Structure formats: structure tokens, C-alpha cells
């Protein structure tokens, strides 16, 4: 049976480290500031934002949530972003996704200063990641959290094969780049990859990262014996249960390491968000943290 990668425990370690760093900044008179913009009343978004606010308080991050009605115009959202860009007390800006359909989400993301882009979605930061530039810049929190989970397995990634299933800018594309940066040979598959070809590729991969939103897409038969399986998906079934994009029951006996759902990748996203916020505060104030 596979070893479970305990995202809850690893996330606690990440948050504790962020809290230590935030305390050091506080002793210098610097309080990391996170601003979250929430447009509309999407129930899932409201839960995510509340969880982020609670996590920020525990770490020592000053968090503010700007709630705007669903009829808010794109110009009004951009005006708030511009104000936050100029606010020296705000080190990190996050616009909760999804936005209402009448607002261009990419345009809003591009309006955030790259130095305050805590989600790592600004084209400048994405470009730095794909170009493997030196120096600090924010990286999308879920993929960065996945790399922390992989590090916790203490396995060597160098020279091995990986496949990322799903090519969103939130997970798939930055995940591809981070694994390639770890000197893996990486394949990026998506909804247009033929099913037979997808199985052939997954059966060769040492690391399989799945982020599609399709419950049970990958089964044990799709996996190489001893693979590491990272399930980014979280899907609520009709009976109310939460499942991932991997069929856990069949995959667990085949894998060497596997993330559960819930309790795997999920906790890492908010923990990494806190980690990035504190780092941005340090960089924006010219402070080096160990």
C-alpha cells in the first residue's frame, strides 16, 4: 500500500515557518499585508476567503477582504486594484476566482503589480517561471505547494519522468515548469489527449499530477508500479462526499506515495499563500529572511 502524503501536517510546518518569519518582520516594524477582493456571492469562494482570513490571523498577516456585489463593473474592480497597488501597507493582492462573467479575469490579473501578485498569475511572473529566471518572484501557490509535498517524500526527482494532466494557468502550466526545473522529463496532457495515449503516458511516469476536475479520471490500471500520485482535484459527488481526480481505492495499492482527498494538496494551497505573502512583504521592504 502507498505511503500517504499528509498535506495537513506538512501545511502546519509551512504555516509555522511563515509565522516565524512574520514575527521577525514584526520586530522590524513590518506587518505583512494581504488584500483579498471578492466579487459576488459564490458560496465556495466565500468559504475559501474566510479560510484565508483565519489562516492569515494565525500566521501574523494583516488581512483585509474587500467584498463587492455581483453587479460590480470591471472598471470598479480595476480601480480597487489600482488603489491596493499604491497602498504601502498591502504586500500581496489576491482576486478570488471565479469572477462574474462580465469581468475579464485575465485583465484584472494583469492589473496587479507583479511585486504584489501573490497568486503568481501575472504574465511577468509566469514568464520568469517559464524562463527559469533567477531571483525571487511569486509562483502559483498550489503548484508550489505540490513541490513541497514532493520534497517531503525525500525521493530523487532528477532524471525521472512526470506527467501533468490538466493545463490551466492555476495548476497545470506552472506545475509543468516546476517539475521541469527539478530536472524531470515532463509531459503535459489535457482533455484533447486521446485516452489510450494518456494511459500509455501515465504508465511510464514516476510522478503523476492530476488537476482536471474529473472525478476518478485516473485509476490504478493507469499507473506505473511505485509511482508518486498527486491528486489536485476536489469534487463533491451527489451524495455529498469529496473525491479527487484519482480513483483512490485502485490507485493506492499501485502507488508508492499518494495524496488523499481531502487532506492532501488542499491544505497546502492556503499554507503556501501565507508563505508567499510573508516573502513578498520581506522583498517589498528590502529585508532578507533566512
Catalytic site positions: 52, 96, 119
The string over 97-126, giving b where at least 16 C-beta atoms fall within 10 Å of a residue's C-beta and e elsewhere, is eebbeebebeebbbbbbbbbbbbbbbeebb
**Angle, in degrees to the nearest 10, between helices 172-181 and 123-130:** 30
- What cell numbers appear for 290 in the block? 533566512
CB 4 within 8 A of CB 248: no
Cα 64 to chain centroid, rounded: 20
Cα gap 229→206, rounded to integer Å: 9
* Residues in contact with 233: Cβ distance below 8 Å, sequence separation at least 6, in sequence order: 210, 211, 212, 213, 214, 215, 217, 243, 244, 245, 246, 261
d(CA 76, CA 53): 23
Amino acid at each position: 500500500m502507498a505511503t500517504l502524503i499528509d498535506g495537513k501536517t506538512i501545511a502546519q510546518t509551512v504555516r509555522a515557518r511563515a509565522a516565524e518569519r512574520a514575527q521577525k518582520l514584526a520586530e522590524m516594524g513590518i506587518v505583512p499585508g494581504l488584500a483579498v477582493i471578492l466579487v459576488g456571492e459564490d458560496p465556495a469562494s466565500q468559504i475559501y476567503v474566510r479560510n484565508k482570513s483565519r489562516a492569515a490571523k494565525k500566521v501574523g498577516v494583516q488581512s483585509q477582504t474587500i467584498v463587492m456585489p455581483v453587479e460590480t463593473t470591471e472598471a470598479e474592480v480595476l480601480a480597487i486594484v489600482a488603489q491596493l497597488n499604491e497602498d504601502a501597507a498591502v504586500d500581496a493582492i489576491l482576486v478570488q476566482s471565479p469572477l462574474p462573467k462580465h469581468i475579464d479575469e485575465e485583465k484584472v490579473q494583469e492589473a496587479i503589480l507583479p511585486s504584489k501578485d501573490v497568486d503568481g498569475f501575472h504574465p511577468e511572473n509566469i514568464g520568469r517561471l517559464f524562463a527559469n529566471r533567477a531571483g525571487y518572484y511569486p509562483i502559483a501557490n498550489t503548484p508550489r505547494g505540490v513541490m513541497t509535498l514532493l520534497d517531503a517524500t525525500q525521493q530523487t526527482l532528477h532524471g525521472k519522468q512526470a506527467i501533468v494532466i490538466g493545463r490551466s494557468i492555476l495548476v497545470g502550466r506552472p506545475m509543468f515548469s516546476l517539475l521541469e526545473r527539478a530536472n524531470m522529463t515532463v509531459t503535459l496532457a489535457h482533455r484533447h489527449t486521446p485516452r489510450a495515449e494518456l494511459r500509455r503516458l501515465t504508465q511510464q511516469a514516476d510522478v503523476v499530477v492530476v488537476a482536471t476536475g474529473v472525478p476518478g479520471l485516473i485509476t490504478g490500471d493507469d499507473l506505473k508500479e511505485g509511482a508518486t500520485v498527486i491528486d489536485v482535484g476536489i469534487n463533491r459527488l451527489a451524495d455529498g462526499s469529496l473525491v479527487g481526480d484519482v480513483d483512490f481505492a485502485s490507485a493506492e495499492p499501485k502507488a508508492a506515495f499518494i495524496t488523499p482527498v481531502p487532506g492532501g494538496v488542499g491544505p497546502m494551497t492556503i499554507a503556501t499563500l501565507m508563505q508567499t505573502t510573508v516573502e513578498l512583504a520581506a522583498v517589498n521592504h528590502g529585508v532578507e529572511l533566512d
